[in-house]
Amino acid sequence: MTTGRLAYMPKPGSVELREYDLPTPEQGALLLETVAAGVCGSDVHMFADKHPLKSIVLGHEVIGRVVDPSTRPTDSAGAELHPGDLVSVVYFAFCQHCRQCRAGRTHLCENSYNHWIASPDDFPHFTGTFGTHYYVGRFQHVFKVPENVSPLAAVSANCALAQVSAGIDRGKVTAGDTVVIQGAGGLGLWGVAVAKERGARVIVVDAVQRRLDAAKAFGADETVSFEDAPEAADRIARVRELTDGGADVALELTGVGSAVVEGIEMVRPGATYIEIGNVMPGVEITLDIGSMTRRAVTIHPVIRYHQRFLKGGLDFISRNVGKLPFDQLIDATYPLDDVAQALEDSKARKVNRAALTMTS
């Protein structure tokens, strides 16, 4: 095969399938044959014009097969790469020369998306994961998928699992903590599993019962549904009741501004509130800063992650095969030709977490 196809979004709400010659990787880069690509909330936000990126080769979650590792013989953990190996990729780049990279804050790299937002007409074309191939740039990290892990179990290791793992790490979640997770989508389910492994007691808040059922299957100790507690005040009261006055840590994984106002009332004095879901600039909320100060609640926004969280995430999946219901993570798969349908169904919340699967 000398050409491949990709899904390009020229403007929000529209998607085109385009065909391009396969690029010859430069030194340090790697061409993958896409096996599966996850449809993340951010992709849906872009499609729905609720994201700063307005035209892009869609997709950033991927499991792919190495075509020819001669330009990058090892993964980012030093493991040898062979043709056909399954790998997961950190979707953003660490340029190594901007102020943030030079200071070691590589997850805040100022050039993290430059490779992705390039026009598909320019080399290397395959800069998003919704396509038959994906081009891993030389400043992107790549890790082999452990032998016992299936592509669909690992497809959201980047970004969902790694992202939420970074958040839980930032919240210093430890054994005996009570953790509130707002939102039982892809991030939320991983969040439950990771917090449980750290020995926490986990309470999940969501509006959709089937998502709460999935959270239970991933180990949630308690769930609070919008059906039983329709008002924010009811949900806050319920969480406080379940946590002896407030959780030790809460994570916002809904992408809804008002969830933050609600969530910081669900934690105890001195607690940590991890903000991950609201990534769209322009979301404004009114916070009772006096109440926050009197209770000394700390808000930590978390964006992107250190690459160790992807390696750790893949190892986490590997040691939990047979213990956690990974088959429930992706509830719908689509061929590349149906990418628009996958985005529409995700936007309409007909599916919890979709993935594109490639046959070629």
Instruction: Answer for the pair 298, 273: CB distance below 8 angstroms, yes or no.
Output: yes
Give the DSSP letter of residue 107: G
Min separation Cβ 240 and Zn ion, Å: 31
Cα–Cα dist 139/94, whole Å: 5
Does 42 interact with Zn ion (rule: CB under 5 A)?
yes
Q: Binders of Zn ion among 152-191, rule CB under 5 A?
A: 159
Nearer to Zn ion, 38 or 246 (CB): 38
Nearer to Zn ion, 157 or 239 (CB): 157
Does 303 interact with Zn ion (rule: CB under 5 A)?
no
Burial of 188 (0-12, 13-18, 19+ CB in 10 A): buried
Q: What are 252's strand-pairing partners?
A: 182, 275
Does 63 interact with Zn ion (rule: CB under 5 A)?
no
Min separation Cβ 84 and Zn ion, Å: 26
Q: Which stretch binds Zn ion (CB under 5 A): 22-30, 35-43, 282-290, 313-321?
A: 35-43
Burial of 209 (0-12, 13-18, 19+ CB in 10 A): middle
Nearest to 278, CA basis, from 183, 180, 173, 156: 183
Min separation Cβ 284 and Zn ion, Å: 23
Nearer to Zn ion, 111 or 320 (CB): 111
Min separation Cβ 61 and Zn ion, Å: 6
Min separation Cβ 96 and Zn ion, Å: 6
Nearer to Zn ion, 8 or 94 (CB): 94
Q: Please give the structure tokens belonging to residue 66.
A: 């190495």
Give the DSSP letter of residue 286: -
Q: Binders of Zn ion among 76-135, rule CB under 5 A?
A: 95, 98, 101, 109, 111
Nearest to 295, CA basis, from 240, 235, 222, 252: 240
| Interacting residues toward Zn ion by CB under 5 A | 40, 42, 95, 98, 101, 109, 111, 159
